[in-house]
Structure 1
């Protein structure tokens, strides 16, 4: 009897230990990063045209961040910032390809050279998770080196230096790297989700990091025909009216729904932290983000503000919302602290841990910074709403703190100050009427640039031609 009792205690202790281990197991992480999805391109963000029932349900199960930002206004630098936890001056990825964009006679300054890939010295988010027991898989657009397996992932499907799927590339046979062709006509968003689901099923017994950076909704705009037909007769509103783009958004929504259903089926949802966001603002020529100004490539709100939802059952209150300004650089330190990770140099991280918001605790107000010492030409001068008809943005820096946002453009050393609380469309420049606030923001921006050694171009471009620039602007505005 005594021996049986001791054996029973041992079994109970073992069971208790097993349950303790299960409770302490690090959460699975699913990070969904849609390409060029605008801040208002979702039902839960206020769109009356796009239909996103699965993402609307996800938003109701987690926390919605209404003032979430990408750390850069276009693809490669935003992804470099998110994966490194560092701002653009720390890694030198400012844009896609070269920094001398637009006509050379319209650029007053010699821009800062651009680094195409994230430096090998960077200890990435994926490396941190790999070194703390995670199995990492990425399925889709990578864009910050040749192969994500070099940056901490164990599995890669479809990710390389490529920034878009190529002409006609949303259907098989594909034009991207590291993927086998499926049946002719297979849709890329469906295929990437199939691969992601296979990864989840294969790794359900251990903590996994699933990075799902869809190529959608980047150009070329190619929706599935049956979904395009579903939107063909639906009336649009306020610059949101393209059935082919709505079809791409709907495909993303359907596939996110498929993935979440698998997490439920495998009983993984309760221990899985899901993050849904976009890498930058949407292209305004395709979809307006009103009341926000401009779109992808611009450092006005429409170019950098993005949707963000975080769901973590039992840890993040369902249906919660916040207006606290956050950035995609916050994802790395948040996950680091959640799993109790150690990294070689914690000072590399320029974001902050968002977990206190999950517990309804306040975060100390901070400034957010953007630095873009290069040029990015216009898409459509009549539609972009950017810096001017020739450029979505010109070399400059931006700071937001509280409700105030300051732009500093280097060519003329000019400033724009906006009250985002009253003027989210950045229509009224208060730089002259609010000099005290302007000067305080300028000092914060100057101090930050000095702290991070941000390059500020000051060499005049000998090819610049003022008359040529003036005439080109006029001709662009006169075009039908």
Structure 2
């Protein structure tokens, strides 16, 4: 009888083992396979010092929270202008390869539709993919629309900047506000509307799938516009541009907070990788680049070193500051590495994954990170930055700075370290032939000033130039009175600087 009981016992034990072991393996596999949600937030034209965690008077509690509960990417580099940064983000490759180092128009040179880009990688991995915000990668036809390039849902604007209330392209006065390719005429402050849409998408998503949300705000790009109640918070700032600019950043931070709150209400915020960065250095209108040299458009630190942070409590230790040299080209490989998904059909990256540095604090060596404007190329490696002309046979002297000790780039060390300068110069050689086909901004291929530059920078002439030929015909002059009256939004019989768009440059 005892033998029978023992036999039954061992049989039951074997059966239990056969059940438990596969089940444990299944649970472990599911745990390993569980992918994080990803929220990628980009601000526009903000200065290095325009966030609370860099000591700004502007209130940014939600961005500050990302740093407090995650890691600050202290040496994060973007390109010095909007469109090139977005090319690098979407492809993981240098925008020099595509000839895009200046802002692209809605129908001008665009990121080729053949490129396999970041949202497509997430979509292929089973993610729901959403975008609410600024595209600015060119849309020559329907196939180049964001909702045709990997995003399940797109809401926002295609050009570089719009009026925050009318949602019109401020240069052509045309509506630039859409949902999945269809123009929509809606009321509201664009920063708030983008957040509202993001909240709706998060709340209505398929809970069985992870989601990828790309949220590139227009703020704090010109025109300088913000809700009056937010501007009133900064009445102690005497400079009007700075006061309105501060309110724009404040409003954007509040919008970010609402989106993260929506994620949190679903109980998945700690399972969500949130990354924030700014697209280039601050412009002259209201921004503060602090101790960094120069600003937007320049390859000096004030133009390309930007505020950035990442939060994911499940994987990233809180309250850290990473000095790892990181660029916007690294985000594609880093995000897919962190999420555990494949690169798909993406072309070879110029960037590389820095996920081990972010997650574990491991130092990742770099041969060199190349950043360029139409005029100059910079190479970053370790503490060093080398700057030279973008023209291969230029006689202009190159420069070398220790940007860790000298972030203001006041002391040129090229003369003292010629071997190092020469070594870094070699890293520009692959790109210099490509640069020969990229005209300096505001100049034609031959280096002469383009006739259209004056017109592109003068909103009054733009408003009257109906057929965009950079000339005023007799017919257009005959319509001038009606057009100028249309610009007079408050109907006071005068055209203010805001109505003319002069504060928007």
Asked if 1:126 is matched to 2:106, the reply is no
Following the alignment from structure 1 to structure 2, what is the Cα–Cα distance between the partners of residues 7 and 193?
A: 51
Contact 1:280/1:305 (8 A) holds in 2: yes
Following the alignment from structure 1 to structure 2, what is the Cα–Cα distance between the partners of residues 168 and 207?
A: 33
- Which residue of structure 2 lines up, in the alignment, with residue 380 of structure 1? none
Give the Å deviation of 1:13.
6.9
- Which residue of structure 2 lines up, in the alignment, with residue 201 of structure 1? 203
Give the Å deviation of 1:44.
0.4
Task: Tell me: CA distance 1:121–1:9, structure 2 relative to 1, closer, same or farther (3 Å).
Answer: same
- Which residue of structure 2 lines up, in the alignment, with residue 342 of structure 1? 342
Give the Å deviation of 1:435.
2.0
- Which residue of structure 2 lines up, in the alignment, with residue 36 of structure 1? 45
> What SS does the corresponding residue of 2:388 show, helix, strand or coil?
strand
Contact 1:78/1:280 (8 A) holds in 2: yes
Task: Tell me: CA distance 1:347–1:120, structure 2 relative to 1, closer, same or farther (3 Å).
Answer: closer
Residues 313-352 of structure 1 mapped to structure 2, 5 A cutoff: 313-344=313-344, 348-352=348-352
Following the alignment from structure 2 to structure 1, what is the Cα–Cα distance between the partners of residues 286 and 230?
A: 17
Contact 1:405/1:420 (8 A) holds in 2: yes
Following the alignment from structure 1 to structure 2, what is the Cα–Cα distance between the partners of residues 457 and 264?
A: 48
Following the alignment from structure 1 to structure 2, what is the Cα–Cα distance between the partners of residues 458 and 92?
A: 6
One of 178, 187, 190 as aligned partner of 1:188: 190
Asked if 1:59 is matched to 2:56, the reply is no
- Which residue of structure 2 lines up, in the alignment, with residue 418 of structure 1? 401
One of 85, 88, 100 as aligned partner of 1:78: 85
Give the Å deviation of 1:191.
1.0
Give the Å deviation of 1:422.
2.5
The one-character-per-residue Cα deviations of 1:190-239 (angstroms, maximum 9, x if unpaired) are 11111101111122331110000111111101011011111012478xxx
- Which residue of structure 2 lines up, in the alignment, with residue 247 of structure 1? 247
Contact 2:299/2:372 (8 A) holds in 1: no
One of 18, 34, 45 as aligned partner of 1:25: 34
Following the alignment from structure 1 to structure 2, what is the Cα–Cα distance between the partners of residues 42 and 31?
A: 17
The one-character-per-residue Cα deviations of 1:400-439 (angstroms, maximum 9, x if unpaired) are 1111111111343421221212321112222223322222
Give the Å deviation of 1:273.
0.4
Task: Tell me: CA distance 1:235–1:61, structure 2 relative to 1, closer, same or farther (3 Å).
Answer: farther
Give the Å deviation of 1:151.
1.4
Asked if 1:454 is matched to 2:447, the reply is no
Give the Å deviation of 1:133.
0.5
Following the alignment from structure 1 to structure 2, what is the Cα–Cα distance between the partners of residues 217 and 120?
A: 28
Greater C-alpha Rg: 2
Contact 1:33/1:212 (8 A) holds in 2: yes
Normalization by structure 2: what TM-score? 0.75
Following the alignment from structure 1 to structure 2, what is the Cα–Cα distance between the partners of residues 170 and 66?
A: 34
Asked if 1:216 is matched to 2:219, the reply is yes
Give the Å deviation of 1:119.
0.8
- Which residue of structure 1 lines up, in the alignment, with residue 288 of structure 2? 288
Unaligned runs of 5+ in 1: 99-113, 375-394, 465-480
Contact 1:280/1:304 (8 A) holds in 2: yes
Contact 1:284/1:294 (8 A) holds in 2: no
Give the Å deviation of 1:324.
1.5
Following the alignment from structure 1 to structure 2, what is the Cα–Cα distance between the partners of residues 215 and 416?
A: 33
Give the Å deviation of 1:167.
7.3
- Which residue of structure 1 lines up, in the alignment, with residue 427 of structure 2? 444
The one-character-per-residue Cα deviations of 1:72-125 (angstroms, maximum 9, x if unpaired) are 211111101110110022222111149xxxxxxxxxxxxxxx972111121101
Say how many residue pairs are matched.
417
Unaligned runs of 5+ in 2: 1-7, 140-144, 440-444, 450-505
- Which residue of structure 2 lines up, in the alignment, with residue 469 of structure 1? none
Following the alignment from structure 2 to structure 1, what is the Cα–Cα distance between the partners of residues 209 and 103?
A: 36
> What SS does the corresponding residue of 2:435 show, helix, strand or coil?
coil
Following the alignment from structure 1 to structure 2, what is the Cα–Cα distance between the partners of residues 235 and 255?
A: 25
Contact 2:71/2:309 (8 A) holds in 1: yes
Following the alignment from structure 1 to structure 2, what is the Cα–Cα distance between the partners of residues 420 and 275?
A: 24
Q: Which has the higher contact order (CA 8 A, sep 6+)?
A: 1
> What SS does the corresponding residue of 1:140 show, helix, strand or coil?
strand
Contact 1:170/1:222 (8 A) holds in 2: no
Asked if 1:366 is matched to 2:367, the reply is yes
